[in-house]
Amino acid sequence: MMVAGEPTRTADPRSRHWSIMRCVYAAPVVAIAGLSGGFLWFAFNIAREESPLDHVADGIVALTGGASRISDAVELLASGRGRRLLITGVGPTTNTAELMRLAPDHHRWFSCCIDLDYTAANTVGNAVETRRWARERGFRSLVVVTSDYHMPRAMLEISHRLPDVTLIPFPVVTWQIRAEPWWSHPGTAKLLLYEYLKFLVAAVRIRLEPVFAVMEIAHRGRTG
């Protein structure tokens, strides 16, 4: 309770200064702890064993980047897990004959039920082409085939562009992760860390896309 005539007390500038400095010093520590915890969650949730797929979807999409991704996707198609397969991100110099060698027991499927996308150059492009392909065919469910460590980012990008389509992951387990714990091999740990950082960048970009869209509309309104 203040008494009339009593001088007003002000906060000690030195105390306020040290409070600010503590926040400044604590922020990087909190950020590093958050990133480290997120990375551990990411790394320990990567699939280490392939399991049979019990679901049936309208279509199957395989993102290139490893030979076993394509062979596994073709086997899923041949076993009736989808009506049609999209292989997205095929290299411009890769022809159908080369892809057929990756699935020697299923050549006939290439002539009837497999589509090749030569446009996509990265995961964002894979998602864009998957959306176009699924929309053209009216597919409401897709099996997504890619490497285990790449699956979280692939699912993030594709689900962002196909929010009303059911996505069923089929992770292809890489030999590095299957053979030994990731923390015991620097190359595997580096691979997972790099993929985790790319996943974070993609997640932030997707969250900010509505903001960028509003800013672009406002800019056009000023310059139009």
Pairing mode, if any, of strands 141-147 and 59-63?
Answer: parallel
In a domain, 134, yes or no: yes
In a domain, 26, yes or no: no
In a domain, 17, yes or no: no
Average pLDDT over every residue of 25-44: 68
User: Is residue 14 predicted with pLDDT exceeding 80?
Assistant: no
In a domain, 214, yes or no: yes
Residues 6+ apart with CB under 8 A from 172: 50, 66, 68, 69, 72, 145, 146, 147, 148
Task: Supply the pLDDT for residue 51.
Answer: 73
Could you tell me the strand order of the sheet in which 114-117 lies? 114-117, 84-88, 59-63, 141-147, 166-172
Task: Supply the pLDDT for residue 7.
Answer: 52
Across all residues in the chain, what is the average pLDDT?
83
Q: Do the beta carbons of residue 80 and residue 56 sit within 8 Å? A: yes
User: Is residue 202 predicted with pLDDT exceeding 70?
Assistant: yes
Higher pLDDT, 11 or 41: 41
Interval 117-169: pLDDT, tens: 999 999 999 999 999 999 999 999 999 999 999 999 999 999 999 999 999 99
Task: Supply the pLDDT for residue 224.
Answer: 58
The CATH number for 132's domain is 3.40.50.620
d(CA 82, CA 100): 18
Radius of gyration of the chain (CA): 25
| Domain around 75 | 42-224
Q: At what angle do helices 13-44 and 186-223 cross, to 10 degrees?
A: 120
d(CA 78, CA 76): 5
Task: Supply the pLDDT for residue 184.
Answer: 72
Entry field: residues in the chain: 224
Higher pLDDT, 52 or 200: 200
In a domain, 85, yes or no: yes
Higher pLDDT, 109 or 173: 109
Task: Supply the pLDDT for residue 214.
Answer: 46
In a domain, 200, yes or no: yes
In a domain, 128, yes or no: yes
In a domain, 82, yes or no: yes
Q: What's the whole-model pTM score? A: 0.79
Interval 70-98: pLDDT, tens: 999 999 999 999 999 999 999 999 999 99
Q: How many domains does the chain have?
A: 1
Higher pLDDT, 202 or 65: 202
